[in-house]
Amino acid sequence: MSSAPPRPPVAARHPLARRRFLAVGAIGGAALAAGGWLAARGGGEAHYASLCPAARPVVLDVKELGVLAAFCARVCPEPGGAHPGPAAVRVAERIDRELSFHTAKLRADVKAAIFLLEHGGWLHAAPTRFTRLGGPEQDAYLRRMGVEGRELERQVFSNLRLLALFFYYVDDRTWGAIRYNGPYVPRVAPPADSRPREGRLDG
């Protein structure tokens, strides 16, 4: 036995870059493009606006925010018991606001991820958009994406899932449900630096 490292490791697997969210191969790309074209043709502003009512997104557009809100609704706890649910906490809008502090590249990545989430069914010859599926079908769609999906799909699912859950549970209205008694120090108002993320959007 020795602690000397062996030869350098086999070259790391080449990851599909996050930047290249849409570079999913010719077939996938064409499928997604077709999905996007149909989606654009189908309009659907009202449909998407209804998924996140009265929201005024700053980085995402109404459609992207609507898709994100639909995603959060499946990923975060439904309202009930001690849980306010993601709509009350306005998780999608919190994420939108956070993006305003980030680079154009990161924003573009998230927008591309949301597009793939909505239209990714085309990659599996299932053209129905994510937001048009019923709740159980949406869960199955997300499970396929996150567990069995291609690398790109898994990346999209895991990154959006992380954002949704983080921004749900940072809200103090959710803490009772998990028996977190919260910080020891009060939040200062007004904060020293105009608090970057705003605690709540509505209060």
Partner 1 sequence: MDDAVMDRVLEADRVLASMREEVDVVIVGSGCGAAVAGLDLARAGKSVLMLERGGLYLPRRRDFDQREDDMFARIDGGRGLHTTENGQGALTYGGCVGGASVHYWADTWRAPKDRLDRWEREHGVEGHTEDHLRPWFELVEQTLNAHPAPPRRRNAMNRLFVEGAERAGIEWEPVVQARDDRCIDSGYCMQGCAYDGKQSQLVTHLPAALASGARLFADCDVERVLIEGGRAVGVAARFLDRRTTRPNGHRLEVRAKVVIVAAGGFATAPLLLRSNVPNPSGQLGRNLQMNPCPQLFGLFDREVVLWRGIPAAVGSMKYRLHTFDRGRYVEGGYLLHPNQLPPATLAALLPGFGAEHRRLMEAAPRIGSAIAWIDDLGSGSVRLDGEGEPIWRWSLGAADELTVRDALKKEATVLLHAGAGEVIVPDPAGTRISELKELSRLDTVDLRTGSMTFACPHPAGMCRMGRDPSTSVVDSSHEVHAVRGLYVCDPSVFPTAVSVDPSETIMAFSHVAAEGILRRMG
Residues of span 120-139 touching partner 1 by CB under 8 A: 139
DSSP secondary structure string, 74-85? HHSPPSBTTB--
Q: Which is nearer to partner 1, 11 or 54 (CB)?
A: 11
Among 41, 184, 202, 203, binds partner 1 (CB under 8 A): 184
Among 102, 126, 128, 140, binds partner 1 (CB under 8 A): 102
Size of the site for partner 1 (CB under 8 A): 75
Q: Which amino acid is at 28?
A: G
Among 188, 190, 202, 203, binds partner 1 (CB under 8 A): 188
Closest to 119 in 3D by CA, of 132, 109, 111, 129: 129
Q: How far is the CB of 86 from partner 1 (least distance, A)?
A: 11
Q: Which residues of 70-89 are buried (b: 16+ CB within 10 A; e: fewer)?
A: bbbbbbbbeeeeebbbbbeb
Among 104, 125, 134, 202, binds partner 1 (CB under 8 A): 104
**Structure tokens given for 198:** 């705003």
- Cβ neighbors of 98 (< 8 A, separation 6 or more) are 163, 167, 197
Considering only residues 139-178, where is the footprint of partner 1 by CB under 8 A? 139, 142, 146-147, 149, 151-159, 161-163, 165-170, 175, 177-178
Q: Which is nearer to partner 1, 38 or 58 (CB)?
A: 58
Rounded distance between C-alpha atoms, residue 71 and residue 18, angstroms: 20
Q: How far is the CB of 158 from partner 1 (least distance, A)?
A: 6
